[in-house]
Structure 1
Amino acid sequence: MTTPFSGILAAVVTPFRADGSTVDAGGVRRQVEHIVGAGVHGVVPLGSTGEFTTLSNAERKEVADLYLRAVDGRVPVVVGTGALTTGETIDLTRHAADAGATAVMIVPPYYGALGWEEVVAHYGAVSDAVDIDIMFYNLPDATGLDISAGRLAELARSTRVTSFKDTGGDAVKFATVLHHYADVIQPLNGYDTLTFSGIAAGARAGVWGAASVIPQLCADFYETLAVRGDIAEAREQWTKIFPICEFLEAHPYASAIKTGLDLVGVPSGPPRLPALPLTPEHATTFARLLREAGIDLPR
């Protein structure tokens, strides 16, 4: 396994212009400065938060290029390249590798659940075609696929999969990988409300959508819990962060993150249809939670 990730990697949005029809390059630069400038340790474009399923492959390549240029080597960039076919996944992965991505994040094809042999064949084909590390994106709600801890390790042994982002919410499976298979595959928490438990259990990194909205709070929390090991202070910080995570998970996620970005003064345009922005009532609730967490919102 290559050098593991460390810290908080922000799951980032795809900024659109006001009508949602085209990608906003300036919006990408604003996101990067907001997030990386606050001390977050990496960015993950073109995952679920990045609305990748609403983008053409040409747009996905454009967004990957924009984020890589804006980051300019300051932190790792893990580009989402999962697609419905192996051929498309290879094409997107090759582009990300050529553009300078640190790694790629690949969700299993998500229309019909794959069998185990198909999973191995899919990730194996990408591994054979492109020389880049792969983060397995565990998202059973969307893929219908829930691989055991042992099989995740088996997949890592036979392909270029070196890590997995766990958005399944199964804390026991996450701990099993952490304690029994971390020498083979690195687990990264990807379930917002389980961030405290995942890092406290020993995870060295997480992919966290909330870090796009409240990057300083998330970076400070990681420093307190993972680096300094001050669990008492981390609990105090978590009392501010947890309600925000809870809110995000209770709403359409990308729309909620974009609402949060509007509230903190780093707008990224609307979600792409058919997704809709949060209602004004929900936005008001979100604003209250941000203020209660100590975020000074622009007027």
Structure 2
Amino acid sequence: MTAQLNGILAAVVTPFTPEGEVDRAGIAAQVEHILGGGIHGLVPGGSTGEFTTLTLDERKAANRAYVEAAAGRAPVYAGTGALSTTETVELSRDAEAAGADGVMIVPPFYDAPGFEELIAHYGAVSEAIGIPIMYYNIPDATGVELTAEQLGELGRRTGVTCYKDTGGDNVKFNKVLVEQAEHIQALNGWDTLTFQSMALGATAGVWGAASILPRQCADLYEAVGVQGDLARGRELWKTLAPVCEFLESHTYAAAIKAGLRLVGVNPGSMRGPFRDLGEEHLDEFRTLLAAAGAEVTA
């Protein structure tokens, strides 16, 4: 393992125009909002980015637009996971050519591959590109559940340098931090476990709430992850935790897009079959965001 990430990387949305097309200007606005708030990196093209609803060309275009808008100011790890190795390689090569700093790859998620099949899959991508790979661990969606030891082995045998944990198993996460850090870097990707992961010693995380509340999320990382000030971190977490709980209680990307609209950064609507967050939930969300220090404009 060579690459090490530090800080909070925002899991970002894919903005759409009213006509339903990928909105490059909307992507630029997202980037300015997030990086302007002090967040340390971007992860487009993941679950928050509605990647399963995009065509191959749209996925390439959205990843490229995020890289272009970031303009080297922060690392961009582009989501490039697909159902086949061939398509995953194609997306990953395109992201590298666009200037992405790394790629995030979810395992094929229809027929769950076995461990040696995963090694072959990630190994093929490793041979095709020269940038780091983030393994996207989301077993509820993929049916793939690796042990801490297997995650370490994945890091040893392929170009995977880190993994985003959206599995919610804090015991396993700690086991990777303690026993496998030489082989793979553990990044929390479960919003409500953000404080715990940093307190355990994780040096980076991928966090959807950082797209809505970048300054507050960056402040939490500075307090806990950099200064080790748990008392200050607890005070910040008191208002961020309810936001995270809200996000995890709804269709995640829809809730993130709703939050962005509420803070004045329009991401457009969801793409079918998914729907925007219902109006009946917005007053509660406004209250939570305002309590966390957001300037709610909608």
TM value normalised by structure 2: 0.99
Aligned match of 2:3:
3
Q: Within 5 Å, give how 1:194-213 maps onto structure 2.
A: 194-213=193-212
Which ranges of structure 2 fall in alignment gaps of 5 or more residues? none
- Aligned-pair CA distance for 1:298: 1.6
Q: Which 10-residue stretch deviates more, 230-239 or 113-122? A: 113-122
Aligned residues: 298
- The answer to whether the 8 A contact 2:257-2:269 is kept is yes
Moved over 6 A (4+): none
Q: Deviations over 1:32-73 (max 9, x none)?
A: 000001100000000000000000010011001100110000
Which ranges of structure 1 fall in alignment gaps of 5 or more residues? none
SS at match of 2:134: strand
Write the distance in 2 (CA, Å) between the matches of 1:45 and 1:3.
Answer: 19
Aligned match of 1:182:
181
Q: Deviations over 1:169-194 (max 9, x none)?
A: 00011000000111110000000000
SS at match of 1:163: strand
- Aligned-pair CA distance for 1:294: 2.0
Kindly indicate whether residue 16 of structure 2 is the aligned counterpart of residue 16 of structure 1: yes
Q: Within 5 Å, give how 1:108-257 maps onto structure 2.
A: 108-257=107-256
Q: Within 5 Å, give how 1:67-78 maps onto structure 2.
A: 67-78=66-77
SS at match of 1:235: helix
Identical positions, percent: 57
- Aligned-pair CA distance for 1:297: 1.1
Aligned match of 1:32:
31
- Aligned-pair CA distance for 1:228: 1.0
SS at match of 2:21: coil
- Aligned-pair CA distance for 1:196: 0.4
Aligned match of 2:99:
100
Write the distance in 1 (CA, Å) between the matches of 2:216 and 2:185.
Answer: 24
Q: Deviations over 1:203-239 (max 9, x none)?
A: 0000000000000000011001111111001000000
- Aligned-pair CA distance for 1:18: 1.9
Write the distance in 2 (CA, Å) between the matches of 1:83 and 1:106.
Answer: 8
SS at match of 2:161: strand
Letter paired with 2:57? A
Letter paired with 1:2? T
SS at match of 1:174: helix
Q: Deviations over 1:77-135 (max 9, x none)?
A: 00000000000000000001111111100000001111112111111111112222100
- The answer to whether the 8 A contact 2:75-2:101 is kept is yes
- Aligned-pair CA distance for 1:3: 3.1
Aligned match of 2:52:
53
